[in-house]
A and B are shown apart, each in its own frame.
Chain A
């Protein structure tokens, strides 16, 4: 017995050195699924830290409201676990962008510092403008604003972004 143990131990030790894993590409794969709002609603500092936490098994997969049920499903599929509903108190909101009220903005630059993706342009004492195309709707700029001049605006559908709806399932409707 001891001999078997020793031999196997030797082989395993050798293999451990030979087959060491350098980098964990799993984090990248998880990060690719996350919506990159960098909103921190998951309790981590951003999407990447959350991805690292998931990869290490320290965080659950259902903490990301912007990713929604779809995101949870994709994570579940990647990790081979059961999808579950979003956690308590985390509900997805409609996609929105932040808009600065030109009348009240005092140009304090606090929101510029808060924006995780540098989507707000402006200088001290100058009116700030949010670049809508780059805004992720994370709402991180709302609390720092001393004059509450930033509001969230739901993105409306137009002819280009309009989506075909799910065909009504006749059997179920009749039920």
Chain B
């Protein structure tokens, strides 16, 4: 091609292992008896649940609505009955539980009526609302709500980049998608171009996927350029791909839109096509299951599918499996609980065995050899950031531009001392975030405290003025009345307080456990209701934090 490619610094060449899963077509999965759909599948505020236990739902029905600006909807993957809305295991590095809707399928898989959209004659903002209600989020891994990214805002988005690089080893879901569904994918890109008004459309694909490149070149109309970029991890990082294709560096701390470029994953374009042209909400995605399983490959997986079922669909794990990875080996994380479901973010599940993923060698001291700095695609000095992160000197770690780290893992990959550098950076980053949260709330508290002090001062002044006036009055009356009576108001207040105290003492006694044995069902119900309300308040406070 005639287009000049730019080369970002650093990067590594880990073993691809892609042939293991990219040889077979995308398979469909049989209907499962149970789906678990987390309400937080995207960056931002979790969706607000619209269903409760006992409700029946249809496939594609909205079960969680977008809540706030950075949020998007969640839909039922099949028809059936909601059995619970409760915290469940989710694919998250912490292994923590998060609120999810558990659906028991009725086997009929009845769908709501899908309404295709005539997007060409539609106002872009209406299109975006549709995209939000269809639950679209970026499928590259960051799962940022797509409708926001389709809003050019005040900026001119002259270039639209489609990311089909898929630089992470093992993962092949985008590869298969591009090979098999290129025409539909291209129609999705058309919708994006329409919403953003971009002139240039570039589709970047790493050159280890010749079939995908050929398929897209065949499907792409004039004005869409399919470009093969050299295979080098992390060539599919948003900033890296943008630089490779255009030579433009995304400003630190900013977005590519600041320089007039928007980047979407190819999978998102395909889902956009389904959402807009077919009217089908985002209830499935293509995900790779590979590694130590009987039949590695790609599946069209419904969101909410328990990962253990995905492993089973691939013929099950082979003997000697030693755990699972979500995502690729460079940036993924260990699956803590195989009950966790596939979400919009899950692009790959790798079943590990000790041969493919040997135990990590022991960490030795850093010798400042600089291998990490040479491998870093963000041109950072990881060993300096490590030096201060290790000593928990976050200020200095940050001064070495810690927050420009994209956590691609190249530094850890090349480190001769086998230092888990990225873990140190993740640790430092979350500590710094925590401090910033604290700082924000401290600032808020300071303002509120200062206001309170100011208010008290003002009240005191007011009172003093009133008192001065009163004193003048009383001096006048003092002539006739020698003894000033005690403030009757205060006496009254005291009495009221005492009465309330006594009352409270009584009520307290009634709610102490010794009385709970012989409660009437009515009282019990009341207590339960209060407990539930309290639990909700607590939940709210937690989600606020």
Q: Which residues of A contact B (CB under 8 A)?
A: 31, 34-38, 46-47, 70, 77, 97, 99, 102-104, 106-108, 115-119, 125, 129, 132-134, 136, 146-147, 149, 153, 155-159, 161-167, 169-171, 174
Q: Min CB distance, A35 to chain B, in Å?
A: 5
CB–CB B511/A133 < 8 A: no
In the assembled complex, which residues on chain B have CB atoms less than 8 Å from the CB atom of A37?
A: 442, 445
Distance in angstroms between the alpha carbons of A158 and B431 in the assembled complex: 15
8 A-B residue pairings within 8 Å (CB atoms): A106-B504, A107-B500, A125-B500, A136-B442, A149-B504, A156-B542, A159-B94, A174-B362
In this assembly, does B534 line the interface, its C-beta being within 8 Å of a C-beta of chain A? yes
Instruction: Name the residue on A nearest B497 (C-beta).
Output: A108
Instruction: Name the residue on B nearest A124 (C-beta).
Output: B496
Known interface pairs A116-B452, A159-B98, A171-B362; A31-B446 also in contact (CB < 8 Å)? yes
Q: Min CB distance, B145 to chain A, in Å?
A: 16
In the assembled complex, which residues on chain B have CB atoms less than 8 Å from the CB atom of A102?
A: 530, 533-534
Instruction: Name the residue on B nearest A153 (C-beta).
Output: B538
Which residue in B93, B500, B505, B543 is a CB contact (below 8 Å) of A108? B500
Q: Min CB distance, A102 to chain B, in Å?
A: 6
In this assembly, does B491 line the interface, its C-beta being within 8 Å of a C-beta of chain A? no
In this assembly, does B420 line the interface, its C-beta being within 8 Å of a C-beta of chain A? yes
Q: Min CB distance, A110 to chain B, in Å?
A: 9
Which residue in B365, B445, B508 is a CB contact (below 8 Å) of A134? B445
Q: Min CB distance, A137 to chain B, in Å?
A: 10
Distance in angstroms between the alpha carbons of A103 and B508 in the assembled complex: 7
In this assembly, does B515 line the interface, its C-beta being within 8 Å of a C-beta of chain A? no
In the assembled complex, which residues on chain A have CB atoms less than 8 Å from the CB atom of B480?
A: none
In residues 86-117 of chain B, which contact A (Cβ within 8 Å)?
90, 92-94, 96, 98
Which residue in A47, A118, A159 is a CB contact (below 8 Å) of B448? A118
CB-CB nearest 8 A-B residue pairs: A132-B541, A163-B430, A36-B442, A164-B426, A36-B445, A167-B423, A117-B448, A147-B504
CB–CB B429/A117 < 8 A: no
Distance in angstroms between the alpha carbons of A118 and B455 in the assembled complex: 11
In the assembled complex, which residues on chain A have CB atoms less than 8 Å from the CB atom of B442?
A: 34-37, 136
Instruction: Name the residue on A nearest B540 (C-beta).
Output: A132
Instruction: Name the residue on B nearest A31 (C-beta).
Output: B446
In the assembled complex, which residues on chain A have CB atoms less than 8 Å from the CB atom of B543?
A: 158
Instruction: Name the residue on A nearest B452 (C-beta).
Output: A118
Q: Which of A102, A117, A125, A134 has the most CB of B within 10 A?
A: A117
Which residue in B94, B500, B530 is a CB contact (below 8 Å) of A162? B94
In this assembly, does B199 line the interface, its C-beta being within 8 Å of a C-beta of chain A? no
CB–CB A164/B430 < 8 A: yes
CB–CB A38/B545 < 8 A: no
Instruction: Name the residue on B nearest A174 (C-beta).
Output: B362
Contact with A along B502-545 (1 / 0, CB 8 A): 01110110010000000000000000001001100110111111
In the assembled complex, which residues on chain B have CB atoms less than 8 Å from the CB atom of A159?
A: 40, 90, 92, 94, 96, 98
In this assembly, does B443 line the interface, its C-beta being within 8 Å of a C-beta of chain A? yes
In this assembly, does B451 line the interface, its C-beta being within 8 Å of a C-beta of chain A? yes
In the assembled complex, which residues on chain B have CB atoms less than 8 Å from the CB atom of A119?
A: 448
Chain A interface, DSSP helix/strand/loop, else mixed: loop
Distance in angstroms between the alpha carbons of A156 and B542 in the assembled complex: 7
In the assembled complex, which residues on chain A have CB atoms less than 8 Å from the CB atom of B429?
A: 164
In this assembly, does B441 line the interface, its C-beta being within 8 Å of a C-beta of chain A? yes
Known interface pairs A117-B449, A155-B542, A162-B94; A103-B507 also in contact (CB < 8 Å)? yes
Distance in angstroms between the alpha carbons of A174 and B364 in the assembled complex: 12
CB–CB A104/B363 < 8 A: no
Distance in angstroms between the alpha carbons of A34 and B497 in the assembled complex: 37
Known interface pairs A36-B445, A106-B500; A170-B362 also in contact (CB < 8 Å)? yes
Instruction: Name the residue on A nearest B364 (C-beta).
Output: A171
Q: Min CB distance, A51 to chain B, in Å?
A: 11
CB–CB B445/A38 < 8 A: yes
Which residue in A104, A129, A164, A174 is a CB contact (below 8 Å) of B511? A104
In the assembled complex, which residues on chain B have CB atoms less than 8 Å from the CB atom of A99?
A: 538
CB–CB A158/B501 < 8 A: no
Q: Min CB distance, A34 to chain B, in Å?
A: 8
In the assembled complex, which residues on chain B have CB atoms less than 8 Å from the CB atom of A46?
A: 449, 453
In the assembled complex, which residues on chain B have CB atoms less than 8 Å from the CB atom of A163?
A: 427, 430-431, 433-434
In residues 415-457 of chain B, which contact A (Cβ within 8 Å)?
420, 423-424, 426-427, 429-431, 433-435, 437-438, 441-446, 448-449, 451-453
In the assembled complex, which residues on chain A have CB atoms less than 8 Å from the CB atom of B433?
A: 163
Instruction: Name the residue on A nearest B544 (C-beta).
Output: A133
Q: Min CB distance, B375 to chain A, in Å?
A: 19
Distance in angstroms between the alpha carbons of A129 and B538 in the assembled complex: 12
Distance in angstroms between the alpha carbons of A133 and B544 in the assembled complex: 6
In the assembled complex, which residues on chain A have CB atoms less than 8 Å from the CB atom of B446?
A: 31, 36, 47
Contact with A along B288-320 (1 / 0, CB 8 A): 000000000000000000000000000000000
In the assembled complex, which residues on chain B have CB atoms less than 8 Å from the CB atom of A31?
A: 446
In the assembled complex, which residues on chain A have CB atoms less than 8 Å from the CB atom of B452?
A: 115-118
CB–CB B444/A134 < 8 A: yes
Distance in angstroms between the alpha carbons of A107 and B505 in the assembled complex: 14
CB–CB B508/A104 < 8 A: yes
Q: Min CB distance, B95 to chain A, in Å?
A: 9
Instruction: Name the residue on B nearest A171 (C-beta).
Output: B363
In the assembled complex, which residues on chain A have CB atoms less than 8 Å from the CB atom of B93?
A: 164
In the assembled complex, which residues on chain A have CB atoms less than 8 Å from the CB atom of B497?
A: 108, 146
In residues 224-279 of chain B, which contact A (Cβ within 8 Å)?
none
Known interface pairs A132-B544, A159-B92, A161-B545; A36-B501 also in contact (CB < 8 Å)? no
For the complex with contacts A116-B445, A159-B98, A171-B363, 11 further pairs of A-B residues with Cβ separation under 8 Å are A38-B449, A103-B507, A104-B507, A129-B537, A133-B541, A147-B508, A158-B96, A158-B542, A159-B96, A163-B427, A171-B362
Distance in angstroms between the alpha carbons of A164 and B537 in the assembled complex: 27
Which residue in B96, B423, B505 is a CB contact (below 8 Å) of A147? B505
Q: Min CB distance, A172 to chain B, in Å?
A: 10
Instruction: Name the residue on A nearest B423 (C-beta).
Output: A167
Instruction: Name the residue on A nearest B437 (C-beta).
Output: A161
CB–CB A170/B363 < 8 A: yes
Known interface pairs A132-B544, A164-B426, A167-B424; A106-B451 also in contact (CB < 8 Å)? no
In the assembled complex, which residues on chain B have CB atoms less than 8 Å from the CB atom of A166?
A: 392, 424, 427
In the assembled complex, which residues on chain B have CB atoms less than 8 Å from the CB atom of A146?
A: 497, 500-501, 504
CB–CB B362/A164 < 8 A: no
Distance in angstroms between the alpha carbons of A144 and B229 in the assembled complex: 69
CB–CB B545/A133 < 8 A: yes
Distance in angstroms between the alpha carbons of A25 and B98 in the assembled complex: 45
